[in-house]
C-alpha cells in the first residue's frame, strides 16, 4: 500500500477518505515541526497533502526520490518549487475555483472595512474613547461610486471587480499580465490600464496577483508614492508583494489613507511597524476561511492525491506535463 503524509491537522473526513486508499500519516495535534523537518517526515511516502503552506524545495525532493505527488490545499503555490518538481517527474496540484467567491467576498469586505475604518472604530469603542458625536469622527472614504483598482485580474480579481461594478456602482480599472477578452470586460465595464495609471487613479486598490520573483515588492515606496493620499490598499494575495516596511511608513506619514492586509512578508510574523499604525486592518490569512470552502479545498486536494497515485487524471494539476 502506498503512503501519504498530511502536513497539518485537517478534517477527519478527509483523513478517512485518504485512508481508504493509502497508509496515512496525519499530523495529530497539529504539531509545529522545526524548519527542515518535513524532508525527514516524508521518508517512505509517495504523496503529500500540503496544508499550511509548507515549503517543498529541491533539497526535500532530492531526499525523497520516492515522492510522486505534492497536493497543495491552496490556490497559490509559491511554497512549492514547481520547476524542481517537474524536473523530477513529481506532480503538483492546487485548489483553484472552489475558493474564488469566498476569497472575493473577503477581499471586498476587507477593502470596505479599510475604507470605512471599521476596525479602528471598534477599537475606539472598546477602549472607552467614545464619549460623544463629532462631525469628523472616524470619517473614511466612500466605496460606492469610487474607482476600484485591481492588480492581478484572475478569477478572484474578477470576482472582486464584479462585486464592485454590479453591487456598488464602482468604476473598475485593472492591470494584469494579459488583458481580458472584451466579452469579460464588458459586463463589468472594466478598463485595462498601465500599472502606473492604476496606482495613480485607484481610490481603492486591491492586490490579487500571484507571488513570484517578478512580483516581489511590486508595491514598494516608489509605487506607494504614486497613489492618492486618500486611497486605500488591500492585499489578499501574498506577503512579499508589498514592501511592508515602506507601507507602514506611508501609513504613518499619511501619504496613503489606509490599508487592509490579510497576508504578510514572513507571516505569521508581522512587521512591527505595521502593529503600531492605527490606519491598517490586519487579519491572519483567512480570505478563504469559511467552513464550506475549507472543506471544498480539502476535498479537492484529496481528490488530486487519490487520482495522482491511483493512475487517474488529477482534476487540477499545476504541471500537467509530468502526467504521461
Ligand atoms: C490560497 O488558496 O492560496 C490561500 O491563500 C490559502 O488560504
Least confident of 15-19, 31-35, 179-183, 275-279: 31-35
Q: Are residues 121 and 216 in the same domain?
A: yes
Write the pLDDT tens digit of every residue in 292-312: 999 999 999 999 999 999 999
Structure confidence at residue 269 (pLDDT)? 96
Q: Is residue 75 within 6 Å of ligand 1 at its C-beta?
A: yes
Q: Are residues 161 and 179 in the same domain?
A: yes
Is residue 238 annotated as part of the catalytic site, yes or no? yes
Asked if residues 41 and 67 have their Cβ atoms less than 8 Å apart, the reply is no
The number of domains in the chain is 2
Q: Are residues 115 and 220 in the same domain?
A: yes
User: Which residue's alpha carbon is nearest to atom 2 within ligand 1?
Assistant: 74
Q: Is residue 99 within 6 Å of ligand 1 at its C-beta?
A: yes
pLDDT for residue 238 is more than 80: yes
Structure confidence at residue 162 (pLDDT)? 98
Residue listed under C-alpha cell 490556490: 75
Q: Where in the sequence is the domain holding 26, given as residue range(s)?
A: 3-96+291-322
Query: Which contacts qualify for 244-248: CB closer than 8 Å, 24 or more apart?
Result: 244/270, 244/271, 244/273, 244/274, 245/271, 245/273, 246/220, 246/221, 247/219, 247/274, 247/280, 248/273, 248/274, 248/276, 248/277, 248/280
Determine the atom of ligand 1 nearest the C-alpha atom of 288: 7
Q: Are residues 48 and 12 in the same domain?
A: yes
Is residue 285 annotated as part of the catalytic site, yes or no? yes
Q: Are residues 29 and 174 in the same domain?
A: no
Is residue 120 annotated as part of the catalytic site, yes or no? no
Q: Are residues 130 and 84 in the same domain?
A: no
Q: Are residues 156 and 54 in the same domain?
A: no
Q: Name the average pLDDT for the chain.
A: 97
Provide mean pLDDT across the span 50-55: 92
Q: Are residues 272 and 313 in the same domain?
A: no
Q: Are residues 204 and 311 in the same domain?
A: no
Q: Are residues 246 and 129 in the same domain?
A: yes
Provide mean pLDDT across the span 51-76: 96
Q: Are residues 91 and 104 in the same domain?
A: no
Provide mean pLDDT across the span 25-30: 94
Determine the atom of ligand 1 nearest the C-alpha atom of 263: 5
Asked if residues 4 and 305 have their Cβ atoms less than 8 Å apart, the reply is yes
Structure confidence at residue 256 (pLDDT)? 98
Tell how far the Cα of 129 is from the centroid of ligand 1, in angstroms. 36
Q: Are residues 260 and 125 in the same domain?
A: yes
Q: Is residue 288 within 6 Å of ligand 1 at its C-beta?
A: yes
**In Å, how far are 82, 101, 113, 261, 287 from 106, measured between CA atoms?**
28, 9, 10, 11, 5
Out of 238, 265, 271, 294, which one is annotated catalytic?
A: 238
Q: What is the CATH number of the domain that holds 54?
A: 3.40.50.720
Closest of 27, 67, 33 to residue 51, by C-alpha: 27
Amino acid at each position: 500500500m502506498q503512503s501519504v503524509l498530511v502536513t497539518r491537522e485537517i478534517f477527519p473526513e478527509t483523513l478517512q477518505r485518504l485512508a481508504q486508499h493509502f497508509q496515512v500519516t496525519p499530523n495529530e495535534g497539529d504539531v509545529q515541526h522545526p524548519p527542515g523537518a518535513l524532508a525527514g517526515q516524508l521518508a517512505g511516502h509517495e504523496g503529500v497533502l500540503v496544508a499550511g503552506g509548507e515549503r517543498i524545495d529541491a533539497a526535500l525532493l532530492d531526499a525523497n526520490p520516492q515522492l510522486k505527488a505534492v497536493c497543495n490545499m491552496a490556490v497559490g503555490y509559491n511554497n512549492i518549487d514547481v520547476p524542481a518538481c517537474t524536473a523530477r517527474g513529481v506532480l503538483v496540484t492546487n485548489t483553484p475555483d472552489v475558493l474564488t467567491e469566498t476569497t472575493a467576498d473577503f477581499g471586498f469586505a476587507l477593502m470596505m472595512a479599510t475604507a470605512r475604518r471599521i476596525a479602528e472604530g471598534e477599537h475606539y469603542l472598546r477602549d472607552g474613547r467614545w464619549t460623544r458625536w463629532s462631525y469628523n469622527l472616524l470619517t473614511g472614504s466612500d466605496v460606492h461610486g469610487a474607482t476600484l483598482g485591481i492588480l492581478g485580474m484572475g478569477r478572484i480579481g474578477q470576482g472582486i471587480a464584479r462585486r464592485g461594478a454590479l453591487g456598488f456602482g464602482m468604476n473598475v480599472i485593472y492591470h494584469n499580465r494579459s488583458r481580458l477578452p472584451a466579452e469579460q470586460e464588458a459586463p463589468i465595464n472594466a478598463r485595462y490600464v498601465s500599472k502606473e495609471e492604476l496606482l495613480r487613479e485607484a481610490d481603492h486598490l486591491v492586490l490579487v496577483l500571484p507571488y513570484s520573483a517578478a512580483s516581489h515588492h511590486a508595491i514598494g515606496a516608489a509605487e506607494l508614492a504614486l497613489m492618492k493620499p486618500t486611497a486605500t490598499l488591500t492585499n489578499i494575495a501574498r506577503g512579499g508583494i508589498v514592501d511592508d516596511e515602506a507601507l507602514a511608513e506611508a501609513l504613518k506619514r499619511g501619504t496613503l489613507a489606509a490599508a487592509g492586509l490579510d497576508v504578510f512578508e514572513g507571516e505569521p510574523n508581522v512587521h512591527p511597524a505595521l502593529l503600531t499604525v492605527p490606519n491598517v486592518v490586519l487579519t491572519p490569512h483567512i480570505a478563504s476561511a469559511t467552513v464550506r470552502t475549507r472543506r471544498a479545498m480539502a476535498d479537492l486536494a484529496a481528490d488530486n492525491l487519490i487520482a495522482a497515485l491511483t493512475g487517474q487524471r488529477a482534476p487540477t494539476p499545476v504541471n500537467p506535463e509530468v502526467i504521461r
